[in-house]
Structure 1
Amino acid sequence: MSKIKAANGLKGTRLVPGTKLVLPGAKAHPKRRKARSKPGAQRTVRETIPAEVIEPRARLASENLPTEAELAEAAKAEDAARPAFDPASDVPGTEETLKDRLLRVAQRMLSVPYRFGGTTLWGLDCSGFVQKAFAYLNRDLPRSAREQFEVGTAVEKANLSPGDLVFFRTYAQYPSHVGIYLGNNRFVHASAREKKVTIDSLETPYYVQRYIGAKRLLFEENDVRN
C-alpha cells in the first residue's frame, strides 16, 4: 500500500471516485499500431465517376459508329467507283477459235475476287468462274463442279489440251474443284486459298494429290467465233 501511495503522491487512504492510480511494477500495454499493407498487396480502389463525365463519353462512343444508312451509302459509292469490266471486250471477233476465245476470256478474269457461291465478277467460286467463262462463248454449263464433271468427254492427263476442264477432290470425296487448262501443266481457276482467280501448276503437290480427271467440251479447232 505504501508503494502505491508513494507512486501516486497520496497521504491518506481515501480516494475520489474516478482517480487513476499508477500501480508500481505493472507493465504498460503497448499502443496498437495500424496494420500496414505488405508490398505487392492488392488494394481495391473504388472510383466514382460523375454523371456529367459518363454522359459525354457514351455520346462520343455512339457518335463514332456509322449508321446502317451510312454503311449502305459507302457500299454504293464503292461499287460506283469500280470500273465497268467485260472480260470479253477487246477480244478479236474474227478468225478466233472458241478455244482461243475461252483462254483469253478466262485469263482476263485473273484477280477477280474469290467468293464461295459467287457467280458474278464481284466474286466467283471455282465452278462459277468456269460457268461464267463458257457463258461468253454462249455455252451453258451446270453450276457445280460435281455436275460439270458429268459433261464433256473424258481426257487422259497426258493428252490434255488448252481449254479442257481439270477436276480435283478438295473438301469432298466427289469432284469439288475445277479449273481451265492453259497448257504447259498450267491451269486458271478461282482459288479459295489465294482468294482470287489465279494460275497454278498441275505439278504442285497439292493438286497432284487431288487431281481426278479432265473433260473436253470444245473440239473443233476451226469452230470460229465471229
Structure 2
Amino acid sequence: MIKKFLFCSMIALLTATTAFSQSKSKETTQLEDPDNLASQYFSQVMGVAADATSNVKLYKFIYEWIGTPYRFGGNTKKGIDCSAFTKAIYDKVFNTTILRNSRDIFSMVDPLSKEELKQGDLVFFKFKSRSISHVGIYLGDNRFAHASSSRGVVISNLNEPYYSRGFYKGGRIMESFRKEFEIE
C-alpha cells in the first residue's frame, strides 16, 4: 500500500514538474517574441490592453527606436531628428513616402484638431517660433512618439504643459499625396 502511494505521489510530482516546465518555456518564448514585447511595453506606457493595440508593426518600430539619441539632421540609430523619425515610420510602417522637413510634411496633410486625431496621424508643434518646428506620430490616448531634442526617441503626452503649449495642429496625409505616391 505504501509503495503504491509513493509511486502515485512520484507520478503526480513528475506530471506537475513537466507541466510547470512547459508553462515556463511557453512564457519565456512569449517574452522573447518582439511583437509581444512591443505590445507589453505599449500596454504599460499607454495603459491599453496588449490585444487592443491595432498596429503592432507601428509599436514594434517605435519600440526598436526608443532611446535613440537626438541628432539634428540625423537619420540612423546613432542619432535621429523628429522629421527623419517620422519619415522612417511612414516609410517602414505605412509604405508611404513623406517629405523630410516638418514644415514640408505639414504641406502634405489635411489639418486636424486634437479631438480628430487617430492612430498614425501626425502632430505638429511650434516651439519658440512662428513656424512649425517639431513633428511626431499620434498613437492614441493623447500619446505620441517623436524624437525629442532633449531625450531622443520617446513617447510623450499631448497634455503635458510643454507639448500642450506648443501644439499647433494634427494632420492626416492628403488623398492627393496618397495617390501620387501610390498609397493604399
TM range (shorter): 0.5 to 0.7
Give, in whole Å, the separation in 2 of the partners of 1:100 and 1:217: 21
Find 1:185's aligned residue among 128, 138, 142: 142
Cα deviations by residue, 1:88-119 (Å, 9 ceiling, x for unpaired): xx569xxxxx9553343123211111111111
Q: Which has the larger radius of gyration?
A: 1
TM-score by length of 2: 0.61
Where 1:136 maps in the other structure, the secondary structure is helix
Change (3 A) 1:213 1:150: same
1:168 corresponds to which of 105, 111, 125: 125
The counterpart of 1:104, out of the listed 43, 57, 60, is 60
Matches within 5 A, 1:1-226: 100-137=56-93, 138-194=95-151, 196-217=152-173
Aligned residue in 2 for 1:87: none
Q: Which runs of 5+ in 1 are unaligned?
A: 1-89, 93-97, 220-226
> What TM-score do the two structures reach when normalised by structure 1?
0.50
Deviation of 1:187 (Å): 0.7
Moved over 6 A (4+): none
Q: Give identity over the alignment, percent.
A: 37
Distance 1:127 1:117 in 2: 9
Q: CA RMSD in A?
A: 2.6
Residue correspondences, number: 126
Q: Deviations over 1:201-223 (max 9, x none)?
A: 1001111111000111399xxxx
- Structure with greater helix percent: 2
